[in-house]
Structure 1
């Protein structure tokens, strides 16, 4: 995988983009995880892959602390890491006074956390934004304890599925009739598209591309699961436009493990 040009400037553009998004991030469909069916579906997805015992978890690109809340609801001790001060500020206010969670300002591709510290590393919608994927996966392997698990929630945001291409037409029609949703990603779509073009996964993040890179970093027991139960839960409380949005892209849940020493 070739190194993208102007990597430093790309990182700064990504930081600036997400910092501006922090102001309305929780208002955008698919970002907030409200109590009820959606929170329950997220908790089930995490429990199935990390088990029921409390763990020490590093959440990468923790944003406004929505996945942090899922992890806390399951009894885990959470360190949320993000490189946007604005996002960290929202998360700290949201979880002020809550035990078992801290938020730190750092780069997910170079965490500066000690070797072998965490039972699990979790991230949502981070991998597609990585500027140095191979370096990042080696870093996540390093901070995990032997036997620790990596859990990734992500998708191919570069190209709709065949059904998604049909659905996108219906969404555009709703936008024309009801007005454009000011909080959805499209509110900053030009900047989003410019960043995506410059990323290693800019042409699409797929499990087929991801699995060999994780294997090269040393991860084993790579398993791919369906995001469908979470999407179904989102549709239970969403309006028509947002129900359609759950059908746009191929999303996935990927888990893998750092082997025990000597394995």
Structure 2
């Protein structure tokens, strides 16, 4: 972990905000971000139900909601959803998507590490692919614990995007070799080539610069006051559904990565 002074933290957080603002335009075109099939949507619904149950009007806060993919999944299940993000271009797309689908989802601009939401105001908090970007995850987790009602649940969906296993590394090299051999450009699944340098610079300075392993996340959640923590690494149904939008090798690579859902409760 890189230790940063407060001023450096502020500068890094502004860089992160600008980076995700720049990613907004292409975000929904990339598999693994937007949902492209009803099979994948159903797999996400099953994951959310497994850990959070049906919404039944309970209040959910979707942190770093982006274009509101998870917000809409929660809305489908009957939660009363607030999506929070600090990138206005993301929120513009999120609001447009809600209008198109005729959904009543509340969107706020705000910082996922310091939500400024009232104490004990939500039954559920969710986030996807946020934790690896956190500058001060312990402070963020303490804030999320504060915002949850007693008995409320936090669901984190994330992974270690820094340390691919041996199988993933071999598949990645083979995929690059096949692309060179065929002369085909690789399908873009993450930052555009012009954004990769910024991505790597940010990654080198966040708390989980060495990879957001589930056990390290759980350790910090316990320090923040959460209990009854479960780690769910069974993402197979989601990965299987996503496979049709990836190349064969990319689909295999994703299936070998350390990805997980962590559910934690506030007593």
Q: Does TM-score exceed 0.5, indicating one fold?
A: yes
Matches within 5 A, 1:172-191: 172-176=176-180, 177=182, 178-182=184-188, 184-187=190-193, 188-191=195-198
Residue correspondence of structure 1 range 93-172 to structure 2 within 5 A: 93-96=96-99, 98-172=102-176
**Which TM-score applies when normalising by structure 2?**
0.92
Question: Is residue 2:9 matched to residue 1:7?
Answer: yes
- Distance, in Å, in 1 between the alignment partners of 2:179 and 2:198 is 20
| Structure 1 outlier segments of 4+, above 4 Å | none
Deviation at 1:248, TM superposition (A): 5.3
Counterpart position of 1:89: 92
Contact 2:2 2:205 in 1 (8 A): no
1:253 counterpart SS class: strand
Matched length: 259
Instruction: Report deviation, 1:17.
Output: 0.7
Q: Match for residue 47 of structure 1?
A: 49
For the 8 Å contact 2:179–2:185, the answer to whether it is kept is yes
Q: Distance in 2 between matches of 1:67 and 1:87?
A: 13
The worse-fitting range, judged by mean Cα deviation, of 201-210 and 32-41 is 32-41
Residue 219 (str. 1) matches residue 222 (str. 2) = no
Segments of 5+ residues of structure 2 without an aligned counterpart are none
1:158-182: CA deviations, max 9, x gaps? 1112211111112212432311334
Corresponding residue for 2:38? 36
Give ranges in structure 1 of 5+ residues lacking alignment.
Answer: none
The two structures have a TM-score, normalised by structure 1, of 0.93
Q: What secondary structure does 1:213 align onto?
A: helix
Higher mean C-alpha deviation, range 40-49 or range 167-176: 167-176
Distance 1:232 1:179 in 2: 24
